Amino acid sequence: MSKNSPIHSTQLACYHCGETCRDTDIRAYEKHFCCEGCKMVYEILNKHDMCTYYDLNHSPGQSQKIAVRSDKFAFLDDTAIQQSLISFKDDHHTHINFYLPQMHCSSCLWLLEQLHKLNKGIVNCKVNFERKEAAIIYDHHLINLRQLAELLTGIGYEPYISYHDLGRKKPVTDRKKIFRLGVAGFCFANIMLMSFPEYLGIDDRETQLMVFFRYLNLILSLPVFFYSAGEFYISAWNALKQKFLNIDAPIVLAIWVTFARSIYEVVTATGSGYFDSMTGIVFFMLAGRVLQDSTHRQLNFDRDYTSYFPVAVTRIKEDASSTVTLPDIQLNDTLLIHHHELIPADGIITRGRALIDYSFVTGETMPVAKEMGEIVYAGGKQVGGNIEVLVIKEVAQSYLTRLWNNDLFKTGTSNENSFVHGLSRWFTWVVFAVAIAAGAYWFWQDESRSWNAVTAVLIIACPCALLLSNTFTNGNILRILSRNHFYLRHATVIEKLAGINTIVFDKTGTLTAGTEMEVVYDGKPITPQIRKKVATLAAQSTHPLSKGIAGWAGQSLKDPFLAFEEFPGKGIEGMVDGDLIALGSALFITGKTQNDEASVVYLSVEGTLFGRFRFRNHYRQSVPMLLRQLQTCFHIAVVSGDNDGELPYLRKLLGQRSELYFNQQPEDKLEVVKSMQQEGKKVMMIGDGLNDSGALKQADVGVAITDNSNNFTPASDAIIEAGSLPQLYQFIRMCKFNQTIVMIAFVISILYNITGLYFAVQGTLSPMIAAILMPCSSISILLITFGLSNLASRRLQLS
Amino acid sequence: MNVIILLLIASISVAGLFLGAFIWSVKTGQYDDEESPSVRMLFDQKPNKK
C-alpha cells in the first residue's frame, strides 16, 4: 500500500432516501439531501422532534424528487367525495382508511403512528402493515380531509385514492373457515382425551363412567358435525347442483356414515363410536384448506381500470374550475388535465400541447405528441404541461373502458376442475365396490357383522387422505413460490400452470424493463466537442427521445451561446457555439422519408448529415437466457402493442418457430390468445399493463409482472416480481411436481387404507386401531408433502 | 368417581374459555396484520424533552 491517500467518495447519499446526491448544496443541519423534497421532509420531522425515524433504519425515506402538485387533493374538499371515502363520522371525529403504497419499513410504521405529534387534529393512526393501510381518526374541527392527505404527502406518504375507492365498502374478510377450524380443533382434542380410557381398556365395573364418556364425546362431536364440517357440505352441494361430483361429496358421505354409526353404537351401548376419527379428519382437512387459502392479503389480483383512474378531475365551466367525480363527467365538459394526470375520458384537446404516454393502454414505448383538435383516449397519461380536453365520450363509454364491457369480464370463474376430483371419483367407486363385496360376503357368513363391515369400509376409505395431501402440498408450494416472489392468486392456479404448453409474452414492460431505452449511434465519428454540443441542444427539449440523446451524449457545455427552435413532431434545431445542429426525423433533417425500422433520430451539423440515433428497447438482462430455456419446452409467442422495430432481434432470439405479433391493440391481444386456445393450446400470458388485461383474463394463466409488488398490476391469476422472471422455468417445473407429490402421498395413504381395510372387511375394526391409524396417516401425509415439496424446491435451487 | 366427572366438566369449560378467547381474537382482527405488532412493541417512547 504505497499510496495511502484517503479517497473521499464524491458521492453523497441523501440522508432521507439514500439516493446519490448530484448537488452538494442541498443541506440542512449538516446533512445532505438529494432534492428539496427530501430536505423538506427532514425539516418537518426535525421540527417535531421525530428524528427517531432516521435512527430506526438507514435512509428510510422515498425520493421526493417528483413534487406533488399543490392542488392535487383539492377534490377532497368536495363533501360528496368525502362521504364516499370516510368509513365513520360523528360530531367530533372522522375515521378514514388510507392506502399508503410508500410504506415499507419499521420507520414508516413508527412515523405514521406518531402522526398525532405533527398535527393536533389527529387523534389516532393505526397502521396495517400487510395491507399498507393506515386507519386514521381525526378531529374534523381541527383538520380537514384535504389537509390530512396533504400532511401525509408532505412527509412522503402520498395516499393513493382511486376511482375504485369511490363509494365502495371494504369487503369483509371471511373468517368462517378459521372459526370452523378452531371449533373442530377444540372438539377433536377433547374427544381424544375422553377416548383414552376406552382405548386403554376401562374397567368393566365403571360402566357408568364409560357411558358418561361416550355421551360426552357425542355432545362434543355435534358442533363438528353441524358447524365445522359445513364447509364440505356447502362445497359438495354447490358442485352437485352443477352436476359435478367433486372430492367433497365422498368425504361428506364418509362423515355422515361415521357419525350415524357412532350414534348407533353409543345409543345401543354396543361400542364407543368413531367420534375421535371423525372430528380429527375434519380438523386436519380444514387445516389443509386454511393453509391453502391463506394467500397474499396484501396483493390485489382483481384490479380493473377503476383502480388506476383518479377519483375526480378538474372541470372548467364558465372560466371557473371545480372538481367533478368521474361518473359525473358529461359530454362536452371541458376538463383540465395536469402534468402526470390520467385522462379519464376520450376527448378533443382544446388548449395546450399534449404529450401522451399510452404505454399503459397500448404498450407503445414512446409518448405521442398531440396538437389542439386531436383526439386523446382515456387511459393516456399527460406528461407535458397542462392541457384542456373537451369530453366526447363519457367515462363508461371510453375506448379503454369498453374493453371491460367485453363478456369475458362479466363471467365468473369457471368450474374448478382438478385432477384430484377425477381421482376421488375413481377412488370412490372402488371403495363402494369393496364395501358391497365385504357386505355381501358377511351377509352369507354372519349376517350380524355385514352392516358393520360395510360402514367400516366406508369410514376408513374416504378420500380424505387425497384431500389432505392435495391441500397441504398446494399450501406449501404456494408458500415456496411466494418466498421467491411469485404470487399465485389461488391454489388451483398451480395445476393450471403445470398444464400449460404455450407462453405468450408482452414486450414493453415485460421483456423490456419499463420505458428505459438504449441509444445506439451510427454514422460519422463524433468529436468530443460536437458531442457536447449535441448534448447541449438535446437538453433543451423535454421530448423523451431528446432526453435519451442527452443522456447518451453526457455532459453539456457550460454557458454555451445558444439559440434554438423546437418543431413539434419534427425535431429541434439550434446554434450552439457557432455550429448549426439539428436533431429530428428523417423528413426534417434530410427532406426525404426513410423506412426506418424503429424510432430513429437523425443528426446534422452545419446542414450535412452526420448520422442517426437508434432507440432500442432495453431488454431485461435475464431475458435472452430465459427465452432460450423456455423455448425447449414451450411454444413461445410475443405480442406487442409497439411497432415491429424489434422484430429481427426477437426473431434471432426466439427462432423461426415462435410467433411474433406487433402493433396489437388490447382486443387483438385477447384474440391472439383466444385463437391459440382454439387450437387446443394451454396458454400462459405474461404482461404488465392495462393493455394486456384482456389477454391476461382470457389466458389459462395470466401472470402480471411488476417491478415492485406494491405497484399496481392488472387483474391476473398470478403476480411475478421482475427480479424473479429468470426463475420462471423453475416455477413451472415446481408446479408440475405438485401432482407427483400428491400422488406419492396418496399412494402411501392407500397403504394405510389397505391396513385399515384389512381389519374393516373382517368386521373387527376396533376403535383403538382406527384411532391410531387416522392421526398416523394424516401426520405422515403432512410430513411427506412438506418434505417432498421442500426437496423439490431445493433441487430447483429456489430459496 | 363423581370427582372425575366434576374434573372433566371443569377442564372442558376451561378449554371452552380458550376457544372463546380464540374466536374473539380472530373476530377483532388481531391476526389481520401479523407484521406490525412485533415491530411496534420495540419502539421506545421517548421522554418529552420540551
Can you tell me which residue has the cell 402520498?
Answer: A158
- Cβ separation of B23 and A182 shorter than 8 Å? yes
pLDDT tens digits for A272-288? 778 888 898 899 889 88
A36 lies in the same domain as A125: no
**Least CB–CB distance from B33: residue in A130, A178, A186:** A130
Arithmetic mean of pLDDT over chain A: 79
A181 in a structural domain: yes
C-alpha to C-alpha distance for A700 and A416, rounded to whole angstroms: 12
How does residue A410 score in pLDDT terms, banded at 50, 70 and 90? low
A790 lies in the same domain as A724: no
pLDDT tens digits for A343-395? 888 888 888 777 787 766 666 666 777 777 888 887 777 776 778 888 888 77
B6 interface with A at CB cutoff 8 Å: no
Q: Comparing C-alpha atoms, which of A640, A733, A619, A624 is closest to residue A686? A: A640
Q: Comparing C-alpha atoms, which of A337, A334, A349 is closest to residue A382? A: A337
What is the C-alpha R_g of chain B? 20
Task: Write the CATH number for A666.
Answer: 3.40.50.1000
Where is the domain boundary, A126, A161, A196? A161
Task: Write the CATH number for A113.
Answer: 3.30.70.100
* A486-508 average pLDDT score: 85
pLDDT tens digits for A526-547? 788 888 888 888 877 767 677 7
Residue A688 has pLDDT above 50, yes or no: yes
Domain tally, chain A: 6
Which has more confidence, A207 or A286? A286
Which has more confidence, A362 or A615? A615
A402 in a structural domain: no
Q: Comparing C-alpha atoms, which of A511, A162, A209 is closest to residue A313? A: A162
A188 lies in the same domain as A290: yes
Where is the domain boundary, A619, A647, A678? A619
Instruction: Please calculate the CA angle A479-A462-A445 and round it to the nearest 5 degrees.
Output: 160
**Least CB–CB distance from B40: residue in A109, A194, A216:** A109
Among A178, A187, A210, A296, the strongest candidate for a mutation testing the B interface, having the largest count of B CBs within 10 A, is A178
pLDDT tens digits for A657-678? 888 888 887 778 888 888 888 9
Specify the pLDDT at position A303: 64
Among B2, B17, B33, B38, the strongest candidate for a mutation testing the A interface, having the largest count of A CBs within 10 A, is B33
Cβ-Cβ contacts under 8 Å for A279 (sequence gap 6 or more)? A184, A187, A188, A191, A220, A221, A224, A228
pLDDT tens digits for A554-597? 766 666 667 777 776 678 888 887 788 888 877 777 777 766 55
How does residue A5 score in pLDDT terms, banded at 50, 70 and 90? very low
Task: Write the CATH number for A605.
Answer: 3.40.1110.10
A183 lies in the same domain as A290: yes
Specify the pLDDT at position A7: 40
Please check whether residue A63 is in contact with residue A14, taking contact to mean a CB–CB distance below 8 angstroms.
yes
Instruction: Say which amino acid occupies A357.
Output: D
Q: Which residues of B touch A178 (CB under 8 A)?
A: 26, 31
C-alpha to C-alpha distance for A89 and A79, rounded to whole angstroms: 12
Can you tell me which residue has the cell 468530443?
Answer: A528
User: In the numeric block, which cell numbers belong to residue A443?
Assistant: 351377509
A305 in a structural domain: no
* Residue pairs between chains A and B whose CB atoms are closer than 8 Å: 61
Specify the pLDDT at position A74: 76
Which has more confidence, B27 or A689? B27
* A8-17 average pLDDT score: 67
A106 lies in the same domain as A237: no
- Cβ separation of B19 and A206 shorter than 8 Å? no
Specify the pLDDT at position A572: 84
What is the C-alpha R_g of chain A? 33
- Pick the range with the lowest mean pLDDT from A72-76, A258-262, A410-414, A571-575: A410-414
* A757-782 average pLDDT score: 72
A146 in a structural domain: yes
A720 lies in the same domain as A635: yes
Q: Which residues of A touch B22 (CB under 8 A)?
A: 182
φ and ψ at residue A332, rounded to 5 degrees: 65, 10
A492 lies in the same domain as A624: yes
- Pick the range with the lowest mean pLDDT from A179-183, A279-283, A356-360, B28-32: A356-360
A67 in a structural domain: no
The per-residue b/e assignment along A17-49, b for 16 or more CB within 10 angstroms, e otherwise, is bbbebeeeebeeeebbbbbebbbbbbeebeeee
Specify the pLDDT at position A341: 78
C-alpha to C-alpha distance for A705 and A622, rounded to whole angstroms: 14
**Least CB–CB distance from B19: residue in A106, A129, A186:** A186
Nearest residue of chain A to residue B36 (CA atoms): A129
User: In the numeric block, which cell numbers belong to residue A698?
Assistant: 382470457
Q: Is the ipTM of this complex over 0.85?
A: yes
A787 in a structural domain: yes
Give the distance from residue A333's alpha carbon to the nearest chain B alpha carbon, in angstroms: 44
Q: Which residues of A touch B25 (CB under 8 A)?
A: none
A282 lies in the same domain as A196: yes
Q: Which residues of A touch B27 (CB under 8 A)?
A: 175
C-alpha to C-alpha distance for A491 and A764, rounded to whole angstroms: 39
Where is the domain boundary, A361, A394, A427? A394
Residue A11 has pLDDT above 70, yes or no: no
C-alpha to C-alpha distance for A355 and A227, rounded to whole angstroms: 60
A186 lies in the same domain as A288: yes
Q: Comparing C-alpha atoms, which of A548, A540, A702 is closest to residue A618? A: A548
Instruction: Please calculate the CA angle A746-A750-A753 and round it to the nearest 5 degrees.
Output: 140
CA of residue A558 relative to chain centroid, distance: 47
A48 lies in the same domain as A147: no
Can you tell me which residue has the cell 367530533?
Answer: A92
C-alpha to C-alpha distance for A510 and A641, rounded to whole angstroms: 12
Q: Which residues of A touch B47 (CB under 8 A)?
A: none
A290 in a structural domain: yes
Q: Give the number of residues written for chain A.
A: 799
A704 strand-pairing partners: A687, A719
pLDDT tens digits for A292-342? 876 655 566 666 666 777 777 888 877 777 777 777 787 888 888 877 777
Among A109, A111, A115, A196, the strongest candidate for a mutation testing the B interface, having the largest count of B CBs within 10 A, is A109
The two beta strands, A718-721 and A701-706, are parallel
Domain holding A336, by residue range, is 310-394
C-alpha to C-alpha distance for A794 and A484, rounded to whole angstroms: 12
Please check whether residue A34 is in contact with residue A63, taking contact to mean a CB–CB distance below 8 angstroms.
yes
Specify the pLDDT at position A626: 86
B3 interface with A at CB cutoff 8 Å: no
Among B2, B11, B32, the strongest candidate for a mutation testing the A interface, having the largest count of A CBs within 10 A, is B32
Residue B13 has pLDDT above 70, yes or no: yes
A180 lies in the same domain as A282: yes
- Cβ separation of B1 and A173 shorter than 8 Å? no
Give the distance from residue A166's alpha carbon to the nearest chain B alpha carbon, in angstroms: 23
Give the distance from residue B23's alpha carbon to the nearest chain A alpha carbon, in angstroms: 6
The per-residue b/e assignment along A438-469, b for 16 or more CB within 10 angstroms, e otherwise, is bbebbeeeeeebbebbbbbbbbbbbbbbbbbb
User: In the numeric block, which cell numbers belong to residue A509?
Assistant: 414492460
A693 in a structural domain: yes
Nearest residue of chain B to residue A208 (CA atoms): B1
The two beta strands, A347-351 and A375-376, are antiparallel
C-alpha to C-alpha distance for B43 and B37, rounded to whole angstroms: 10
**Least CB–CB distance from A52: residue in B1, B11, B46:** B46
Q: Which residues of B touch A56 (CB under 8 A)?
A: 43
How does residue A402 score in pLDDT terms, banded at 50, 70 and 90? low
- Cβ separation of A175 and B16 shorter than 8 Å? no
What are A44-52's contacts with CB under 8 Å, separation 24+? A44/A118, A44/A154, A44/A155, A45/A111, A45/A155, A48/A117, A48/A118, A49/A117, A49/B46, A49/B49, A49/B50, A50/A111, A50/A114, A50/A117, A50/A118, A52/A110, A52/B43, A52/B44, A52/B46
A719 lies in the same domain as A747: no
Specify the pLDDT at position B49: 43
Specify the pLDDT at position A213: 86
B7 interface with A at CB cutoff 8 Å: no
Residue A516 has pLDDT above 70, yes or no: no
* A694-705 average pLDDT score: 85
